[in-house]
Amino acid sequence: MEAFLLSTGIVTLAEMGDKTQLLSLVLAARFRKPWPIAWGILVATLANHALAGALGTWVTTMLGPDVLRWVLGGSFIAMAAWMLIPDKLDDGDTPSKTSHMGVFGTTLVAFFLAEMGDKTQIATVALAAQYQQWAAVVAGTTLGMMLANVPVVWFGDRLVKKVPIRVVHLVSALIFLVLGLAALLGWG
């Protein structure tokens, strides 16, 4: 349960102000069809995080416990620093309104690609490696993505403007720093 809850909380916080949250806002503004967008986000996140979780689980079989501890500690500390850098949408991340794939397909592809190499994908790899509980981590990170992105699809800009993104990023960075130090010191 710890792996699920921590994965949910970390990804929810990490996703605030992230480029995929901004993409959710763009998709909602362009298409104004929240259900297919939400389903597209869910399917893209499940696919992306399932692969990331599998990579994290596989890494544990390739590295010894001491090397893994240092890799995880360094990864979590790097994530703490990365949380302090604000995200922006690249021009290639914004979908065309005239896509032939429809709202669901456009969301699925755009969200899957935008999540590649993103903070939450890297966090999923690290969490799966640390906890070695693929299903719990993937379920938790997916729920975290949904908690952060789906409300934006329905409530849009009003919600994003009320959340102090800088404070959320600082709290997220602190959590990642604590996880990194705990891994390096061999706690838990």
Is the pLDDT assigned to residue 57 strictly greater than 80? Answer: yes
Task: Determine the pLDDT at residue 52.
Answer: 96
Task: Determine the pLDDT at residue 16.
Answer: 84
123-152 pLDDT, tens digit each: 999 999 999 999 999 999 999 999 999 998
- Residue 158's CB: how many other CB atoms inside 10 A? 10
Range of the domain at 102: 2-185
Task: Determine the pLDDT at residue 78.
Answer: 84
- Residue 107's CB: how many other CB atoms inside 10 A? 29
Is the pLDDT assigned to residue 96 strictly greater than 70? Answer: no
Backbone φ and ψ for 118, nearest 5 degrees, come out as: -80, 165
Task: Determine the pLDDT at residue 157.
Answer: 60
Do 11 and 148 form a contact (C-beta atoms < 8 A)?
yes
Is the pLDDT assigned to residue 65 strictly greater than 90? Answer: no
Is the pLDDT assigned to residue 160 strictly greater than 70? Answer: no
102-120 pLDDT, tens digit each: 999 999 999 999 898 888 9
State how far Cα 79 lies from the chain centre. 12
pLDDT (average), residues 76-100? 66
Answer with the residue of higher pLDDT: 55 or 92.
55
Number of domains in the chain: 1
State how far Cα 18 lies from the chain centre. 8
